A = this chain, B = another copy of it.
Amino acid sequence: MPTVKLVDENTNHPKIRAVFDDIKATKKIDRVPNFWRALAAHPANLELCWTQAKAIMRPGKLDMTTKEIIALAVSITNSCRYCINSHLAAVQRLGLDAAGVGELLAVVGLYNQFNKLAEGLQIEPDIFPKVEE
């Protein structure tokens, strides 16, 4: 049960309404997801979060599918039920089929395992990213 009242999509609150309209237009969807309706209980958070999401979640060096795959991998690792459902639906809409989702899950599972093995073994890094460009 949400800890706040979900704000109505057709609210008269001008700032919230502007964000809601922008969410629908940007994501090309016709209803506002509950995450944003709940965040709207705190209008300042809503604006900051949407500004940030809009800036980050658009195609760049990484395409949208890759970005949603990352969002899903993070959400599974954090065990966030709402987010797993939402981002899994997103990667499906972007065209990832069941076999692709199966591979994604396998990789997420594998590295949750290897991360903990690495900690248990307390291994020092021996492979480093290049730092100078």
A41-B121, A110-B113 given; 11 more Cβ-contact pairs under 8 Å: A3-B122, A34-B123, A38-B123, A60-B99, A70-B111, A73-B73, A78-B112, A80-B116, A85-B122, A87-B111, A105-B121
Q: Is the CB–CB distance between A105 and B42 below 8 Å?
A: yes
User: B33 contacts A127, CB within 8 Å?
Assistant: yes
Q: Are B98 and A41 interface neighbours, CB within 8 A?
A: yes
Stoichiometry, as copies per complex, reads 6
* A90 vs B124: C-alpha distance when bound (angstroms): 17
Which of A67, A89, A122 has the most B CB atoms < 10 Å from its CB?
A122
Q: Is the CB of B108 within 8 A of A74?
A: yes
Partner pick for A78 among B39, B45, B79, B122, CB 8 A cutoff: B79
8 sample A-B contacts, Cβ–Cβ < 8 Å, listed by A number: A35-B121, A35-B123, A45-B106, A61-B96, A83-B111, A83-B118, A105-B117, A109-B113
